Amino acid sequence: MGEITLGQYYPTNSILHRLDPRVKFLGTLVYVVSLFLVRGPFGYAFCGAVLLVLIFLSKVPFLYVLRSLKPILFIMIITMAFNVFLTPGTILWRWGFLKITEEGIRMAVKMGIRLVFLVTGSSIMTLTTTPNSLTDGMESLFGFLRIFHVPVHEIAMMMSIALRFIPILTEETDKIRKAQIARGADFETGGFIKRMRAMIPLLVPLFVSAFRRANDLAMAMEARCYHGGSGRTRMKPLRYERRDVVAYAAMAAFLAICIVFSVTGL
Amino acid sequence: MSIIRASRLGFDYIKYNDESEDAEKVKAISDISFEIEKGDFIAVLGHNGSGKSTLAKHINALLVPTSGTMWIDGVNTAEEDELWKVRQKAGMVFQNPDNQIIGTVVDEDVAFGPENLGISTEDIWSRVDEALGKVGMLGFRDRSPNRLSGGQKQRVAIAGVVAMRPECIVLDEPTAMLDPNGRREVLEVIRELNKKEGVTVILITHYMEEVIFADRVFVMDSGEIALEGTPREIFSKVDELKKLRLTVPQVTELAHELRKAGVEIPEGILTIDELVDALCG
Amino acid sequence: MLIELKDVCYTYGDGTVYEVKALDHINLGISEGEFIGLIGHTGSGKSTLIQHLDGLIKPTSGEVLFEGKNIWSEGYDLRSLRTHVGLVFQYPENQLFETDVITDVMFGPKNEGLTPAECEARAAAALRQVGIPEELYKVSPFDLSGGQKRRVAVAGVLAMDPEVLILDEPTAGLDPAGRDELLNQIRHLRDKRGITVVLVSHSMEDVALYANRLIVMDEAKIAFDGPPRKVFARYRELEKMGLAAPEITYIMHALRSRGLRVDTGAITVEEAKRSILMALSNRNSMKDGPL
């Protein structure tokens, strides 16, 4: 009901929550790159330790953070299985055409760790940043693309409107679905074709409603003097604070250490 | 000088028929003239399709007349260079609160209008605070609009218009989708704005109880102003209103029925107190 | 007893932080031919309640019986229940989807598995009942006026020939004449076809005029259940629930407190008029001195 927690924003007040969204976005980028830089066990241990510190700083419960791994669990198992069974090398165990190699295990563990760190790392960003301020951050970060005639403001506006209307349309879908069930519609049984056809009474009203809403919204925006991004000021402009500068410095240090790990192969 | 002036206003739109190629001209409003003074509270009544909404959109320059002229504070709404000035002077609140809230946080939505006007961040903050205070929603500034009641959402929408400091506010059936409590909240806010801030209000509605507070009432029918007068004058015409697919408040209807039955009471009774005084005075 | 709710509870978001109790031990019986007005402020549980009557929501605990059978028992045909109990949602015009009016109204009968001819006959009958003229049958529902769309959508439910018709604020957003027309058509259906009606409404004036039984919901419970006159007599308590009585009730109480001996139980304009005229003539004859 109501809110969709896109990226599962976790409302609390931590230093990570207060950071500028641009810092968090770039920070996530740096972290992801570093995961592919480091190669040895110490490198991974270092990245893991940093991750633990970040989770601690975010004040988001540890188990809540781990929940973000659930949707990729399946992909992870498949990838690891492929690596374990299909990597050629020193054979440890064999059954029929299946064989497990030392290199395979090493590869799988590496992949697994990378994937877990990558997903956990990026979910720290979405857990501590509202979708809205993330949109603002991206608009500001990618603002330079405007010189290449990329409609940065318009894209950001579209994203934030989408964020506002997703819960409304979800609720509406549920209402229309129930209304059609009350008229005897059957969304559950039958083959693929029948089910697709059964969606028409749901999709047509949904599209009609979405168009009507879009039309209304466009009119309401015009009535409030909206005329694109030029000449527009902001109520909450993004401004770097001292903590953001400190965060950038920490980020640079982290990257430097990872490069060292990468070069030494530790 | 009057804040809103319409002279022989007309608006046609072209309706295309699926089967036949010929386009059909439909008159949404025709030959309407009126003047509204600064600080007035005007109520506009009329059944669905009587042209009320079309008229409302002319005041905000969302529509430009196909004949005649509309002036807002002396500015002709047809002049494209003055468009943003007109829209700043005449704010508009629509029926469905969900479809006019743009922000995902209450105060960010209220800031949307001022942001478009290009004023400084400090000014935006003070205007947003002021506007939220006027509609009694300051305590909800960090909330998501999706978590508010209908009446609260509509008050946020009103604050969004108030933050642009308009001379007049046009409200197009702002209470149609609300429950009685939401309706009461919104109406109270509108009356406050009119009385305390002197904002000119044009309230379009189906609810007869909301008309009682107006200085003047326009009743629209097939694109024209069919009746005009004070609420008392309008509600004296019970039978005429019914012909225009409208009703009167129950107390007015009861008084009318009693009069018809021979009881000596005045026409156009609007409140319970008036009726009680007339019967027991 | 046509429909019976036994100790029904329903909780949204059961087991999460957002847990909300929408129905709290509801016991309710609905008999054939009743015209029930269901009132309560937003969030009191009205909408959840009516969705239980149609089997759209499964109670967290308790039983829903239709003609004595538990609708959530193993093997119960919920789809056939929905042909007996028709539910018209709020703003039902939002569910229109077909290319023309009559095909849209035929959707319900088609789902019942009737022949095309039967479907069309049902649809035409339903459209007649809501006063949609034949020349509109082949028009796209999206080209109709707001009031017409609403009535076509109601016809879409009526075409399933239900014995119980539940309407969730069917007049929201209609103009006064449109409101009266729709409610009169519904009353006519009940009088002529013996349909049982449950009308959810925010308008006390409407339920006073049409319903013969009022159910008041407050905080997930049934607060009052009885004839409108009796329920509105407790208008002070209704006000505490964020509700009110019809304007007439307040007029009658005000008159009474000023010494005019009127019937404070009157809830419609017609009743009030009769009572006031009677009281006035009594007062005048007293003044003139009957002796």
pLDDT in tens, B113-145: 999 999 999 999 999 999 999 999 999 998 889
In C120-149, the residues whose Cβ lies within 8 Å of chain B are: 145-147
Residue C160 is predicted with a pLDDT of 94
Q: pLDDT under 50 in chain A at which residues?
A: 1-6
> Across the interface, which of C178, C202, C255 has its CB nearest the CB of B276?
C255
What pLDDT is attached to residue A2? Answer: 37
CB atoms within 10 A of CB A2: 12
CA–CA dist C109, C120 (Å, integer):
9
Instruction: State residue A3's pLDDT score.
Output: 40
Q: C-chain residues within 8 Å CB-CB of B44?
A: none
Measuring CA to CA, how many Å separate C40 from each of C35, C46, C48?
17, 7, 12
Per-residue b or e along B22-49, where b marks 16 or more CB atoms closer than 10 Å to that residue's CB:
eeeeebbbbebebebeebbbbbbbbbbb
Q: Which residue of A has its CA nearest to C110?
A: A184
Mutate to test the interface with A, among C95, C96, C110 (most CBs of A within 10 A): C95
For residue A13, what are its two tokens? 């007040």
d(CA B207, CA B188): 14
Same domain, A18 and A103: yes
Same domain membership, residue A200 and residue A114:
no
Residue C78 has pLDDT above 80, yes or no: yes
Together in a domain, A200 and A250:
no
As for how many domains chain B has, the answer is: 1
A-contacting residues in B 58-77 (Cβ below 8 Å): 60, 62
Instruction: Return the CATH number at B169.
Output: 3.40.50.300
Q: How far apart are CA A201 and CA A181, in angstroms?
A: 10
Is residue B242 situated within a structural domain?
no
Q: What is the pLDDT of residue A166?
A: 86
Alpha carbon distance A111, A115 (integer Å): 6
Of B121, C166, B234, residue with least CA distance to A234: B121
Same domain, A100 and A181: no
Distance from CA of A204 to the nearest CA of C (A): 6
| A89 vs C252 pLDDT, higher one | C252
Q: Do A227 and B92 make contact, defined as CB atoms within 8 angstroms?
A: no
Q: Is residue C263 predicted with pLDDT exceeding 90?
A: yes
> Does residue B115 sit within a domain?
yes
CB contact under 8 A, C97 and A175: no
Q: Are residues A63 and A155 in the same domain?
A: no
> Cβ C176–B245 below 8 Å, yes or no?
yes
- Does residue A232 fall inside a structural domain? no
**Residues in chain B closer than 8 A to C258 (CB atoms):** 276, 279-280
Structure-token match 């010929």, residue found: B22
Q: For chain B, list the contacting chains (3+ Cβ pairs, <8 Å).
A: A, C
What's the structural domain count of chain A?
2
Whether residue B108 and residue A221 make contact (CB cut-off 8 A), yes or no, is no
- Using the Cβ of C262 and the Cβ atoms of chain B, whether some distance falls under 8 Å is answered with no
Round the average pLDDT of chain C to a whole number and report it.
92
Residue B18: band (very low, low, confident or very high) from pLDDT cuts 50, 70, 90 = low
Dump pLDDT digits (tens) for C181-197.
Answer: 999 999 999 999 899 99
Q: How many CA atoms lie within 13 A of C253 on its CB side?
A: 12
Euclidean distance between CA atoms C205 and A229, whole angstroms: 49
- Which positions in chain B touch A9 (Cβ < 8 Å)? none
| Nearest residue to C104 via CA among C172, C158, C184 | C158
Can you tell me the distance from the alpha carbon of C258 to that of C280, in angstroms, rounded to the nearest whole number?
A: 13
Please state, in angstroms and as integers, the Cα–Cα distance from residue A147 to each residue in A142, A151, A180, C226, following that order.
10, 9, 49, 71
Strands (E), B109-187: 168-172
- Contact: B145, A223; criterion CB under 8 Å: no
Q: Do A235 and B164 touch (CB under 8 A)?
A: no
**In terms of domains, do A158 and A215 share one?**
yes
Name which of A176, A178, A186 is nearest C79 (Cβ-Cβ): A186
Q: Which chains touch A (3 or more CB pairs under 8 A)?
A: B, C
Measured between beta carbons, the chain B residues lying within 8 angstroms of A237 are 121
d(CA C211, CA C191): 12
Mutation for C interface: A183, A188, A199, A209, most C CBs within 10 A: A183
Write out C209-272 in H/E/C secondary structure: HHCCEEEEEECCEEEEEECHHHHHCCHHHHHHCCCCCCHHHHHHHHHHHCCCCCCCCCCCHHHH
pLDDT (0 to 100) of residue A72: 81
CB C169 within 8 A of CB C177: no
Cβ distance of A186 and C111 shorter than 8 Å: yes
Q: Quick check: A204 contacting C, CB < 8 Å?
A: yes
* A&C contacts, CB < 8 Å: 61
Better-predicted residue by pLDDT, C232 or A13: C232
Report the C-alpha gap between C155 and C133 in whole angstroms. 12
Q: Is C241 on the interface with B (CB under 8 A)?
A: no
Please choose, from the candidates B221, B181, B235, the residue with its C-alpha nearest in 3D space to the C-alpha of residue B47.
B221
Interface of C with A (CB under 8 A): 12-13, 18, 51, 54, 56, 79, 82-83, 86-87, 89, 92, 94-97, 107-108, 111-112, 142, 156-157, 160
Q: Model confidence over C196-223: pLDDT tens digits?
A: 999 999 999 999 999 999 999 999 999 9
Range of the domain at A246: 6-129+238-264
List chain B residues with CB under 8 Å of C177.
47, 242, 245-247
- Say yes or no to pLDDT of B175 above 90: yes
Determine contact: A208 vs chain C, CB below 8 A.
yes
Residue A17: its H or E element: helix A15-18
Q: Which residue of A has its CA nearest to B125?
A: A235
Rounded-to-integer distance, Cα C201 and Cα C174, Å: 13
Q: What distance in Å separates residue C241's CA from the closest CA in chain B?
A: 11
Single-letter code of the amino acid located at B62: L
My answer on whether A77 and A161 are in the same domain is no
**Which of B98, B254, B258, B264 should be substituted to probe chain C, the one whose Cβ sees the most C Cβ atoms within 10 Å?**
B254
Could you tell me whether strands B168-172 and B200-204 are parallel, antiparallel, or unpaired per DSSP bridges?
A: parallel
Separation of alpha carbons B217 and B215, rounded Å: 7
Count of CB pairs separated by less than 8 Å, B with C? 93
Domain membership of residue A183 (yes or no) is: yes
pLDDT computed for residue C15 by the predictor: 65
**Pair A121, A243 in one domain:** yes
Q: Using CB atoms within 10 A of its CB, is residue A147 exposed (0-12), middle (13-18) or buried (19+)? A: exposed
What's the pLDDT at A1?
Answer: 33
Q: Residue A36 has what pLDDT? A: 87
| Residue A6 pLDDT | 44
Tell me if A183 and C107 make a contact (CB, 8 A cut-off): yes
Are A82 and A203 in the same domain? no
Task: Determine the residue of chain B that is closest to C178 in CA distance.
Answer: B245
Residue B244 lies in a domain: no
**Would the CB atoms of B115 and A235 count as touching at under 8 Å?**
yes
Domain that includes residue B209, residue range:
4-229
Quick one: tokens of B106?
């209450």
**Is C111–A185 a contact, with Cβ atoms under 8 angstroms apart?**
yes
Q: Which chains have 3 or more CB–CB distances shorter than 8 Å to chain C?
A: A, B
Residue A137 inside a domain? The answer is: no
- Residue C16 is predicted with a pLDDT of 63
Q: How many CB atoms lie within 10 A of CB C74?
A: 5
- Going C198 to C203 to C209 to C213, the CA torsion angle's sign is positive
CA atoms within 13 A on the CB side of C234: 14
- Is B148 contained in some domain? yes
Q: Which residue of B has its CA nearest to C203?
A: B180
CA angle in degrees (0–180, nearest 5) for C60-C66-C67: 150
Residue B17: pLDDT band with limits 50, 70, 90? low
pLDDT digits (tens, 9 = 90+) for A178-188: 999 999 998 88
Of residues B180, B250, B279, nearest to C255 (C-beta): B279
- Let me know if residue A31 belongs to a domain: yes
d(CA A55, CA B240): 71
Whole-angstrom distance, CA of residue C37 vs CA of residue C267: 14
Q: Is residue B200 part of a domain?
A: yes
In a domain, A228, yes or no: no
Rounded CA separation C105/C130 (Å): 12
**Cα diameter, chain A:** 72
Q: State pLDDT tens for residues C169-182.
A: 999 988 888 999 99
Q: Does residue A199 share a domain with residue A92?
A: no
Q: Could you tell me if A14 and A125 lie in one domain?
A: yes
A245 lies in some domain: yes
Quick check: B116 and A226 CB within 8 A? yes
A180 touches chain C (CB under 8 A): yes
A56, A188: one domain: no
* Domain-embedded: residue B82: yes
Looking at per-residue pLDDT, the higher value among A67 and B28 belongs to B28
Please tell me the predicted confidence (pLDDT) of residue A92: 78
Helix residue ranges, H only, A142-241:
152-182, 192-198, 200-223
What CA–CA distance (Å, rounded) separates C219 from C221? 6
How far apart are alpha carbons C291 and A72 in whole angstroms?
Answer: 96
